[in-house]
Amino acid sequence: MKMKNWLNVDDHHNFSMYNLPFGMFHRNGPTPGVAIGDYIIDLRFCAEKSLLSSLSFDTNVFSQPVLNDFIATGKSNWSALRKWLQEQLSDANSALAQNQNEALVDRPKAKFYVPVHIGDYTDFYSSIEHATNVGKMFRDPENALLPNWRHLPVGYHGRASSIVISGTDVRRPNGQTKPPGSDAPVFGPSKRLDYELEMAFIVGSENKLGEPIPVDKAEEHIFGMVVFNDWSARDIQTWEYVPLGPFLAKNFASTISPWIVTMEALEPFRTGSVEQNPPVLPYLQQTGNHNFDIQLEVSLTPEGGEESSICHSNFKYMYWSMAQQLAHHTVNGCNVRIGDMMASGTISGPDNGSFGSMLELSWGGKNQIVLKDGQSRTFIEDGDTITMKAACKNENFTVGFGECSGKILPALR
């Protein structure tokens, strides 16, 4: 099945006709765009040229520096714009084709912005393999999962201000740590800096404070997804996190990929949910397929060196679905707003090569992760770049996320 288009973008391109993700790129300031092959379609230009006049929402939303106002127009309009784009790209005589010199921008050269205003950011902990690995390392190997873990999608609030776009350098954090055997904490650069391979969804429609979102309606409240690197300073975390959870170990930076892939584009990659045992409480029960088959890869590139793949995982391993996460988050009446970001937690698979953090890959720093050039790592060193890639693939086409990448700079002295 080849979807015809005058740009000749292959169906197996990350940004195929089946994808059409939304982002904010730089063209005289933040500009909304849709990725297609090696191009970006400038939506502000399209709106200003009245190319979008057949759509039934106010296209002035594309003059805003974030996508929130567009998202607020609602699901039927996201879908209508997608359909319009597919039609325009299929027809060599379309208005878009006639304006292509101005409407299209080179994607590989573009700079990007965080595409939405993120009111609140929540991080879940929904991979059973990750939670089990962490439990084995730090608690009881025989009872690795805490008693609440299979009953609710454990989550906590994170920092929205320090979410940065792929390509932004990240400075190694200073902080308090308590070295083993030491009586008192010391201050200095984190020595156990890690990534966490996550995906995040972006809220697409709101609930009122006090009114929960039922689990079977929850997917309708999701606009789309990005790749998410929840950078973590393990030594800071170990000392600070009791009893109120991670704080400075996480809030120095999180990195997201620039393109929001819509739930409509992800629909063909829906897959079976993981069996939940014991059964969950009724407000979390769902039938049907609520996981998504998204192939994930992490690589590490030393400064001036070669890129080494260090992890392959998949979003389908999640024990708790996004719908369950959102239903749980709002069951107490908590309100979510358009643009809110909710990350999955580290996505680890069943085997060693699928562990979504260096903490797990090196098993707490005990094992060396060997790179292509013979160097090895237990945690991230200064100058290392961590790159995450995500893509959905079937026989006929690909829907990709592109990259979520960040380089670690030395700590301030």
Q: What is the largest CA-CA distance in the chain?
A: 74
**Is there binding between residue 340 and its own copies (CB under 8 A)?**
yes
Report in angstroms the alpha-carbon separations of 34 from 39, 109, 394: 8, 15, 22
**Is there binding between residue 171 and its own copies (CB under 8 A)?**
yes
- For the chain, the straight-line distance linking the first and the last C-alpha, in angstroms and rounded, comes to 57
**Minimum CB–partner distance for residue 137 and its own copies (Å):** 12
Q: Is-contact 260 390, C-beta < 8 A? A: no
Closer to its own copies at the Cβ: 152 or 274? 152
Identified binder of its own copies from the candidate list 288, 333, 350, 410, rule CB under 8 A: 333
**Is there binding between residue 160 and its own copies (CB under 8 A)?**
yes
The letter for the amino acid at 394 is N
Concerning whether 130 is annotated as a catalytic residue, the answer is: yes
Tokens (6 digits) for 229: 């690197």
**Minimum CB–partner distance for residue 344 and its own copies (Å):** 14
Residue 29 burial class via C-beta count within 10 angstroms: exposed 0-12, middle 13-18, buried 19 and up: exposed
**Is there binding between residue 246 and its own copies (CB under 8 A)?**
yes
**Minimum CB–partner distance for residue 135 and its own copies (Å):** 9
**Is there binding between residue 193 and its own copies (CB under 8 A)?**
no
Closer to its own copies at the Cβ: 42 or 123? 123
Closer to its own copies at the Cβ: 118 or 266? 118
User: Could you check whether the bond before residue 279 is cis, i.e. omega within 30 degrees of 0?
Assistant: no
**Is there binding between residue 374 and its own copies (CB under 8 A)?**
no
Nearest to 49 by CA among 3, 96, 109, 13: 96
Q: Which residue of the set 13, 117, 130, 151 is catalytic?
A: 130
Identified binder of its own copies from the candidate list 141, 180, 243, 304, rule CB under 8 A: 243
Whole-number Å distance between alpha carbons of 316 and 346: 12
Tokens 């089946």 sit on residue: 18
The catalytic residue positions are 130
Provide the binding-site residues for its own copies, judged by CB under 8 A: 119-120, 125, 146-148, 151-152, 154-162, 164, 171, 173-176, 178, 184-187, 209-212, 233, 236, 239-248, 251-253, 278, 281-283, 328-329, 331-337, 340, 412
